[in-house]
Homo-oligomer: A and B are copies of this chain.
Amino acid sequence: MNKIITIGREFGSGGRELGRRLSQELQIAYYDQEIVTEIARRTELSERYIREIEEHQPLLSFPIHVGRSFYPAPNPVWDQRMSVYQEQSSIIREMAEKSDCVIVGRCADHVLRDMAPLRIFVYADMESKIRRCREKAPEGEKLTDKELRQQITAIDKRRAKYYEFFTGKAWSDRLNYDLCINTTQRVIRDMAPVLAKMV
């Protein structure tokens, strides 16, 4: 069976960078934005629209794992969001079956649970996350610390809802992960080779 590593991460924790560098160290595939591109190719939706769907919480407030009999009458937007998630899950499974890989976000730990992936969760304290966001911000963006804190909190809240909706589990529950890594005051570039030795 292929070596699959899934990365869940708090916004600004450097989880995406850690995943990318880890894949480079291990010389295995890395999937993140590639998944969006592939969904777009298969569904003829724009990449921007797919990203929007991914980044926003689902329309309904109760989780997908609740019995189907409770669902409201189908509506087109709901159907489209569901089919994007299903397409995404199929793509993730195909990628994981093809070769060893690192997959970032998108409930991949849950989608691939029968393939026993190594499930990593990356987190950091708020100060470190604000600093990382500031370093990676587009030139000219001038958000205050307070605004950045609000943005980080809001994005993580959406991620938690998205995860809970599609998996029925709490995003922040450590039992959903094999390894939780704190990147507070750490340099991701230095962490990846060390982590690669372990996995």
Assess the B178–A179 pair: CB atoms within 8 A.
no
Tell me which residues across on chain B come within 8 A of A180, comparing CB atoms: 174, 177, 179-180
Mask: chain A, 154-166; 1 = CB below 8 Å from B; 0 = not: 0000000000000
Mask: chain A, 161-199; 1 = CB below 8 Å from B; 0 = not: 000000000000011011111101000000000110110
Asked if A125 is at the interface (CB within 8 A of a chain B CB), the reply is yes
A175 to B123, CA, bound (A): 8
Nearest B-chain residue to A177, judged by Cβ: B182
| Chain A: interface residue total (CB-CB under 8 A) | 15
Tell me which residues across on chain B come within 8 A of A123, comparing CB atoms: 174-175
Tell me which residues across on chain B come within 8 A of A181, comparing CB atoms: 178-179
A152 to B32, CA, bound (A): 40
Q: How far is the CB of A105 from chain B (nearest CB, A)?
A: 18
Q: How far is the CB of A186 from chain B (nearest CB, A)?
A: 8
Assess the A194–B184 pair: CB atoms within 8 A.
no
Nearest B-chain residue to A198, judged by Cβ: B198
A179 to B174, CA, bound (A): 11
Tell me which residues across on chain B come within 8 A of A125, comparing CB atoms: 175
Assess the A175–B179 pair: CB atoms within 8 A.
no
A184 to B119, CA, bound (A): 12
Nearest B-chain residue to A180, judged by Cβ: B180
Where the two chains meet, the residues of A that have a C-beta atom closer than 8 Å to any C-beta of B are 123, 125, 174-175, 177-182, 184, 194-195, 197-198
Known pairs A178-B182, A179-B180, A197-B197. 10 more at Cβ < 8 A? A125-B175, A174-B182, A175-B182, A175-B184, A177-B182, A178-B181, A179-B181, A179-B182, A194-B198, A197-B198
Ranked 5 nearest A-B pairs via Cβ: A180-B180, A198-B198, A197-B197, A178-B182, A125-B175
